[in-house]
Structure 1
Amino acid sequence: MAAIGKRGTVTEAAGFDPEADAQRLRGAMKGTGTDEAAVTEVLSHRTIAQRQRIKEVFKQAVGKDLADELSSELSGNFRSVVLGLLMLPPVYDAYELKYAMKGAGTEEAALIDILASRSNAEVKAINAFYKKEYGKSLEDAVCGDTSGMFQRVLVSLLTAGRDESDNVDNAQAVLDAKEIYEAGEARWGTDEVKFLTVLCVRNQKHLLRVFEEYKKISGREIEDSIKREMSGCLEDVFLAIVKCIRNKPAFFAERLYKSMKGLGTTDSVLIRIMVARAEIDMLDIKAEFLKMYGKTLHSFIKGDTSGDYRKILLELCGGE
């Protein structure tokens, strides 16, 4: 894995001056109306660490919380992006998970996107912050909001117990592939627990071997079997895990594409990925997007959004 920030579109601003940035943001909110362009210019070109410094300096200078001030000045999707940018990654993830389970119905996409793609360390940080901020464990929240096998997969992912070594046990990989095959394609009904045990516990390199073996045994890709054997959220979460194991930037590129193609835009998905990945692997996501769809992510966002919301997303996206 490349060092954090190395594959992102958002990189450290040279000659960073948190005092000047804080003053600029303060000025952007003075008087009637807000200077959204100034807000975009500052926040989309600073790293998460730099934004934290701006928040500290702003609070010292003004005695108010920058996020609260911007929250009351801005609205809509632009506001959602700005507030996301001001949060530390586990805080943003915890907030998105909390929001996904609020009120009637659950936005399962958020639970799947986040929990299937984060590392053990990231999941542990999300769990810790969630408990501290919302007064109950994320596991309890998920259990109160989901059910059945889908819930069991999420709970397994929440334990942050995936093997993260590089060890590949070839004999075990063959056995894993055989067990998944026998639990699905080879029988009536599907024993989903077998899928869970392999897909949520084994390390990435080992799973890539399992997928190869699975194809030899069954004659098809594991994704195709999951689609044939499962449905609904369970199918979605297992597919997300497999796709993240194979190629995480490609997983996010597909999610972005689906959030924008066709009628309407699923802004929650678009915002979450653009904010969460800007500093991590946005360059790779853009490359995969172009490879998969023959169009740039930039052109897709441009055609699907408008106003200040479009401007800030395009800044996070980086050039064509």
Structure 2
Amino acid sequence: MAAVGSRGTVTEAQGFNPDKDTEALRNAMKGAGTDEAAIISILPHRTIAQRQQIVEAYKRAVGKNLSDDLISELTGNFEKVVIGLLMTAPVYDAYELRNAIKGAGTDEACLIEILASRSNAEIKALSAAYSKEYERNLEDDVCGDTSGMFKRVLVSLLTAGRDESNTVDEALAKQDAKEIYEAGEARWGTDEVKFLTVLCVRNRSHLLKVFEEYKRISGRDIEDSIKREMSGCLEETFLAIVRCIKSKPAFFAERLYKSMKGLGTTDSILIRVMVSRAEVDMQDIKAEFLKMYGKTLHSFIKGDTSGDYRKILLVLCGGEK
């Protein structure tokens, strides 16, 4: 069930009947070909909790996993988004992180996006899901695939130890801002550990005050200093943390925009953000997208995707509402 006061686009379907949905999904996969329209009419219109009931009802009625049957019937991006919808939020995060780590190369952007944007509770839940699903330790896998200060920042985020109170210590905020300034702009070289200690540990309200103080001291926005002082994955991680502290919806709006602008579409990012945020804050992301880029998210998706894949993303986007 979506949280009370949720700003998501996917809400509980009224008159929900998991057995009826199961029957419709079975019929959609019977015989030659697949009725994608039937799948679109059901899965993206149900909440995560309702989809879990469908998964259980399907296994009870058919004796098979719904995801296995859908994988055998579907292909490409449509398959990816549908399978993502069948997972709980922690399992989906764990699945995306596992895909980012396994095999040749690492999708650092995926690691950064997920770990910089999730709450303590969400990080604990996705770590537990990772252990259960893959019988592996997420921290060990992250450490095995990353190095240096980038690794240390990700490990810090994985401890899920951020202060989540709203307490602002004015004196400490001034001290934090001064120490970050002295660790970066005010010296030759950069003491990245000081950035880590402040950005990965302090609460949001306190950090907003730190950013304000930092600008007063240095004359620069903290993001500008990070860009001047760092590079590569470390720069991207600290920027993601700062942007999520300032506004998670704006952070995700930028992720969506960059996934669709220019030549081609980075479908993996587009799918991950649409699936993971549809029930959380998609309304706010849409509002930020319009404010930041002067166009609706709906129009971008419509212009950059096609076919059944586009149809399911537009449902998650909440249409033109």
* Pairwise TM-score range, normalised by the shorter structure: over 0.9
2:263 is aligned to: 263
Within 2, Cα distance between the matches of 1:4 and 1:260? 31
Within 2, Cα distance between the matches of 1:4 and 1:72? 36
Within 2, Cα distance between the matches of 1:202 and 1:89? 25
1:177 is aligned to: 177
2:285 is aligned to: 285
Within 2, Cα distance between the matches of 1:3 and 1:126? 18
Query: For the Cα contact (< 8 Å) 1:4–1:279, is it kept in 2?
Result: no
1:312 alignment partner, SS class? helix
Query: For the Cα contact (< 8 Å) 1:21–1:54, is it kept in 2?
Result: yes
The reply on whether 1:24 has 2:24 as its aligned counterpart is yes
Give a deviation string over 1:260-303, Cα, whole Å, max 9, x none.
00001110000000000000000000000000000000000011
Query: For the Cα contact (< 8 Å) 1:301–1:310, is it kept in 2?
Result: yes
Within 2, Cα distance between the matches of 1:209 and 1:3? 28
Query: For the Cα contact (< 8 Å) 1:5–1:279, is it kept in 2?
Result: no
1:113 is aligned to: 113
1:31-50 matches, cutoff 5 A? 31-50=31-50
Within 2, Cα distance between the matches of 1:197 and 1:190? 14
1:1-320 matches, cutoff 5 A? 3=3, 6-320=6-320
CA drift at 1:129: 1.1
Aligned length: 319
CA drift at 1:136: 1.7
State the Cα RMSD in Å: 0.9
1:79 alignment partner, SS class? helix
Within 2, Cα distance between the matches of 1:73 and 1:172? 57
CA drift at 1:159: 0.1
Within 2, Cα distance between the matches of 1:163 and 1:234? 22
Within 2, Cα distance between the matches of 1:225 and 1:272? 29
Shifted more, 124-133 versus 185-194: the winner is 124-133
Within 2, Cα distance between the matches of 1:259 and 1:136? 30
CA drift at 1:132: 1.6
Within 1, Cα distance between the matches of 2:250 and 2:159? 25
Query: For the Cα contact (< 8 Å) 1:173–1:209, is it kept in 2?
Result: yes
Are the structure 2 counterparts of residues 182 and 223 from structure 1 closer, same or farther at C-alpha, using a change threshold of 3 Å?
same
1:44 alignment partner, SS class? helix
Q: What residue identity is the alignment partner of 1:14?
A: Q
Q: What residue identity is the alignment partner of 1:218?
A: S
Give a deviation string over 1:47-72, Cα, whole Å, max 9, x none.
00000000111111100100111011
CA drift at 1:118: 0.3
Give a deviation string over 1:130-166, Cα, whole Å, max 9, x none.
1122122100000000001100000000000000001
TM-score normalised over the length of structure 2: 0.98
Query: For the Cα contact (< 8 Å) 1:4–1:280, is it kept in 2?
Result: no
CA drift at 1:3: 3.9
Give a deviation string over 1:181-237, Cα, whole Å, max 9, x none.
000000111000000000000000000000000000000100000001011110101
Q: What residue identity is the alignment partner of 1:75?
A: T
Query: For the Cα contact (< 8 Å) 1:112–1:237, is it kept in 2?
Result: yes
Query: For the Cα contact (< 8 Å) 1:13–1:45, is it kept in 2?
Result: yes
Query: For the Cα contact (< 8 Å) 1:249–1:288, is it kept in 2?
Result: yes
Q: What residue identity is the alignment partner of 1:260?
A: M
- Tell me, which stretches of 5 or more residues in structure 2 are unaligned? none
TM-score normalised over the length of structure 1: 0.98
CA drift at 1:5: 6.4
Query: For the Cα contact (< 8 Å) 1:7–1:284, is it kept in 2?
Result: yes
Within 1, Cα distance between the matches of 2:17 and 2:4? 22
Moved over 4 A (4+): none
